[in-house]
Amino acid sequence: MLPKPTGDVILTIEGKIGATNADGAADFDLAMLEELETAKIKTSTPWFNGTVEFEGALLTSLMDRVKANGAELVVTALNDYQAPVPIADFAQYGTILAFKRDGNYMPVSDKGPLFIIYPYDSDAELSTQKFYSRSVWQVRRLTVR
């Protein structure tokens, strides 16, 4: 059982998970995400000029926290855009669920509050449409399947 969020819920995880704090789901506020193992990724992206530093929760840590038992996430954004993302990516590439860009929390108006980020500059394969399409911004829900 996970603790209940005390702030505004910004992320809900559902599906094949073993740890919940809501009706069959795991709700997270920003403070709960900041308590997970975090990392910074400095990289260029197709969405911003120059090199940008993102900071956020390691998705491996988040998946461990909810005891995820699946091979894929369906990531849903605030506007209901959805994209499938293989969970194996998280350990392989150190993918994060970013909540800060260049030291500042990201507002909804600027791709926040949560944005899936890969270290695009670390491997030419990551700087392709395949991985850009997995980089959902304004993330609201993760469904483990």
Condensed to tens digits (0 to 9), the pLDDT of residues 65-121 reads 999 999 999 999 999 999 999 999 999 999 999 999 999 999 999 999 999 999 999
The total number of structural domains that make up the chain: 1
Condensed to tens digits (0 to 9), the pLDDT of residues 135-144 reads 999 999 999 9
Assess if residue 1 is contained within a domain.
no
72-74-75 Cα angle (round to 5): 125
Assess if residue 62 is contained within a domain.
yes
Distances (CA, A) of 129 to 74, 98, 132: 17, 19, 5
Kind of pairing between the strands at 11-15 and 139-144? parallel
Percent of the chain whose predicted confidence (pLDDT) is above 70: 100
Assess if residue 120 is contained within a domain.
yes
Q: Taking Cα atoms as reference points, which of 27, 13, 4 lies closest to residue 76?
A: 13
Query: Would the pLDDT of 1 be above 90?
Result: no
Assess if residue 123 is contained within a domain.
yes
The per-residue pLDDT of the chain, averaged, comes to 97
Lookup result for tokens 């559902």? 14
Average pLDDT score over residue span 3-25? 97
Assess if residue 6 is contained within a domain.
no
What is the domain-level CATH number for residue 23?
3.90.420.10
Which of the four pLDDT bands, split at 50, 70 and 90, describes residue 134?
very high
DSSP-H helix ranges across the chain? 30-34, 59-65, 88-93, 129-132
**Which domain range does residue 61 map to?**
11-144
Assess if residue 4 is contained within a domain.
no
Assess if residue 3 is contained within a domain.
no
